[in-house]
């Protein structure tokens, strides 16, 4: 019994010493957070470039509306909006401006407002395609251009963070998989594929900016994302007309939209992994 007791005491003492020694060792430092300031700066520069073009194209669009040039306005409408859609993660950070520029009538009604509170691109879209007129839309056009210029100015103040970028990329895909894929975004003009393309390009831009850091951590993820983006663009290319155009969304079959939806979902999963591996 004494021997056994002494053995236990020695064992306990040794364990205590080991625990003390272990606790006295400096705890291994947590992995240093990745410095993404350069990438954040690059994304903000991209957003500002898009907003610059958005202002210029919106000015052309509103001039066409005010001059009564319906065909020109219809031609410019989807192309101008693409600049907004590419940089929507930043544009949406301004909760007052985003709906004034981009709200659908359904959005206004869901917010408990009336049609008289509706403004922006989609209100003019209604005039062009549903009412087949530009008459009575001059004031709406003027307000749209003012709101667009204000948005451009306020982009300078945005605190862009890595989280905004990575969640923004996923949000852009979510927009495609919800309102874009159903055709409810451009309910009058049916120019949804332009928005679709721009959202994907916006998400890809974020990926490309972060690509070196992603590749350093997970080469397979980079390869997977590249393949999924390529597959989705290939599907979109099947519905192109001319260099910058797309067919009306009404021309797509159920199988077409199913394929696009599946491709978006297949891209969304690895895209969401960016934020996880960059933690």
Per cent of the chain over pLDDT 70 is 88
**Choice between 64 and 4, residue whose per-residue pLDDT is larger:** 64
| CA–CA distance, 194 with 250 (Å, rounded to integer) | 13
Note whether 231 and 143 are same-domain residues: no
Single residue among 134, 159, 184 that ends a domain in this structure: 159
Note whether 42 and 155 are same-domain residues: yes
Note whether 153 and 207 are same-domain residues: no
What's the pLDDT at 250?
Answer: 96
What's the pLDDT at 31?
Answer: 55
What's the pLDDT at 124?
Answer: 98
DSSP assignments along the chain, one per residue: -HHHHHHHHHHHHHHHHHHHHHHHSPPPPPPPPP--HHHHHHHHHHHHHHHHHHHHHHHHHHHHHHHT-HHHHHHHHHHHHHHHHHTHHHHTT-TTHHHHHH--HHHHHHTT--GGG--SHHHHHIIIIIS---TT-HHHHHHHHHHHHHHHHHHTT----HHHHHHHHHHHHHHIIIIIHHT-TTTTT--HHHHHHHHHHHHHHHHHHHHHHHHHH-HHHHHHHHHHHHHHHHHHHTTEETTTEE--GGG--HHHHHHHHHHHHHHHHHHHHHHHHT-
| 97-126 residue pLDDT tens | 999 999 999 999 998 998 899 999 999 999
The count of structural domains within the chain is 2
Does the pLDDT of residue 26 top 70, yes or no?
A: no
Q: What is the number of other CB atoms lying within 10 angstroms of the CB of residue 8?
A: 10
pLDDT band at 91 (very low <50, low <70, confident <90, very high): confident
Per cent of the chain over pLDDT 90 is 72
Q: Is residue 57 in some structural domain?
A: yes
Name which of 11-20, 67-76, 86-95, 170-179 the model is least confident about. 11-20
Single residue among 111, 136, 159 that ends a domain in this structure: 159
Phi, psi for residue 28 in degrees, rounded to 5: -55, 130
| CA–CA distance, 43 with 151 (Å, rounded to integer) | 16
> Any idea what the CATH number is for the domain that residue 53 is in?
1.20.1420.20
Q: Which residue has the tokens 């909006």?
A: 81
Note whether 182 and 234 are same-domain residues: yes
Q: Rounded to a whole number, what is the distance in angstroms from the first to the last CA of the chain? A: 55
Q: Is residue 10 in some structural domain?
A: no
Name which of 17-26, 130-139, 247-256 the model is least confident about. 17-26
Note whether 119 and 174 are same-domain residues: no
Q: Is residue 72 in some structural domain?
A: yes
Does the pLDDT of residue 168 top 50, yes or no?
A: yes
User: Containing domain of residue 210, as a range?
Assistant: 161-279
What's the pLDDT at 27?
Answer: 41
């Amino acid at each position: 019994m004494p021997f056994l007791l002494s053995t236990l005491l020695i064992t306990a003492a040794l364990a205590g010493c080991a625990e003390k020694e272990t606790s006295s060792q400096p705890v291994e430092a947590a992995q240093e957070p990745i410095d993404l300031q350069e990438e954040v700066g690059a994304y903000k520069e991209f957003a500002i470039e898009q907003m610059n073009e958005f202002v210029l194209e919106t000015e052309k669009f509103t001039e066409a509306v005010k001059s009564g040039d319906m065909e020109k306005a219809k031609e410019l409408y989807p192309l101008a909006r693409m600049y907004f859609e590419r940089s929507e993660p930043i544009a949406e950070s301004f909760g007052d401006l985003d709906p004034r520029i981009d709200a659908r009538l359904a959005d206004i009604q869901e917010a408990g407002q009336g049609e008289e509170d509706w403004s922006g691109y989609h209100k003019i879209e209604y005039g062009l395609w549903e009412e087949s007129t530009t008459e009575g839309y001059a004031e709406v056009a003027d307000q749209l251009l003012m709101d667009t210029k204000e948005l451009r100015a306020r982009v300078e103040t945005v605190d862009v963070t890595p989280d905004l970028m990575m969640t923004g990329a996923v949000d852009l895909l979510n927009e495609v998989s919800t309102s874009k894929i159903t055709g409810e975004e451009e309910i009058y003009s049916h120019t949804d594929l332009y928005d679709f393309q721009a959202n994907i390009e916006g998400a890809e831009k974020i990926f490309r900016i972060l690509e070196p850091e992603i590749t350093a951590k997970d080469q397979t993820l980079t390869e997977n994302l590249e393949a999924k983006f390529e597959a989705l663009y290939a599907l979109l290319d099947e519905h192109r007309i001319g260099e910058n155009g797309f067919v009306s969304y009404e021309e797509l079959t159920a199988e077409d939209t199913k394929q696009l939806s599946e491709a978006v979902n297949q891209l969304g999963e690895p895209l969401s992994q960016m934020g996880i591996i960059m933690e």
